């Protein structure tokens, strides 16, 4: 159950971190409408899920030993600390960049996004493989829970942007929100590292 909560929290934080997908979604809303913004989200969900499944399949087929997964998990905990330091410093969401994204641009952004691959290889996949050892189909359940949380927060932020744009332009509120998200990443990083030794 703890692994599923972690998957959900990681998905929420992952979806809330500003990047090209969120910026592209907000830009699409500014220039067209809410429905077209949702289209960007669903394209990103498809591209990122396929990428995560591909990474999961490859690492699963390698038949990594428990010790290798634990070493990767420790690296993943360190990645979560690094992400937390980046998220802690976010004080505004940039809507000035005019990024119009097609499906294929989203696929390329996902394929070339080193942070995405580092996250999945060091954090997501080890957690999914560990869950798979305790639950039939755990690796897929982890991915599904993560992606549902990612979708929930991304759609929620998109709706908030669409209806209450000035709210997302309040730097104090945005900064405080991302400090909370960074704190969640720190807690998950500590839990990830401790789980290797306990």
132, 3 Cβ separation under 8 angstroms: no
What total of structural domains would you count in the chain?
1
User: Mean pLDDT across the stretch 143-164?
Assistant: 93
Torsion sign, CA atoms 88, 124, 140, 20: positive
Question: What rounded mean pLDDT belongs to the chain?
Answer: 87
Alpha helices in the chain (DSSP H): 2-16, 20-31, 34-61, 66-88, 103-111, 114-119, 125-134, 138-168, 171-197
User: Mean pLDDT across the stretch 120-134?
Assistant: 92
Residue 58 has pLDDT above 60, yes or no: yes
User: Mean pLDDT across the stretch 56-75?
Assistant: 90
Name the pLDDT band for 196 (thresholds 50, 70, 90): confident
Residue 116 has pLDDT above 70, yes or no: yes
Burial class (CB in 10 A: 0-12, 13-18, 19+), 172: exposed
Its domain, for residue 97, covers 2-197
78, 119 Cβ separation under 8 angstroms: no
Q: CA-CA distance, 41 to 15, in Å (whole number)?
A: 10
Look at residue 23 in the predicted model and tell me its pLDDT.
78
């Amino acid at each position: 159950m703890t692994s599923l909560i972690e998957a959900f929290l990681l998905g929420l934080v992952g979806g809330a971190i500003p990047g090209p997908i969120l910026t592209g979604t907000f830009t699409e809303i500014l220039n067209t409408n809410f429905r077209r913004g949702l289209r960007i989200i669903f394209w990103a969900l498809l591209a990122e899920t396929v990428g995560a499944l591909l990474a999961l399949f490859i690492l699963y087929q390698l038949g990594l030993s428990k010790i290798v997964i634990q070493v990767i998990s420790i690296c993943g905990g360190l990645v979560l600390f690094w992400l937390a330091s980046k998220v802690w410093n976010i004080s505004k969401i940039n809507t000035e960049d005019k990024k119009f994204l097609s499906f294929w641009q989203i696929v390329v952004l996902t394929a070339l996004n080193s942070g995405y691959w580092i996250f999945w290889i060091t954090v997501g996949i080890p957690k999914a493989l560990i869950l798979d050892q305790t639950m039939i189909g755990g690796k897929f359940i982890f991915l599904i829970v993560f992606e549902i949380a990612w979708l929930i927060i991304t759609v929620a932020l998109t709706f908030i942007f669409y209806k209450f744009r000035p709210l997302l332009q309040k730097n104090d509120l945005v900064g405080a929100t991302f400090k909370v998200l960074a704190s969640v990443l720190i807690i998950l990083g500590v839990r990830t590292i401790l789980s290797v030794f306990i």
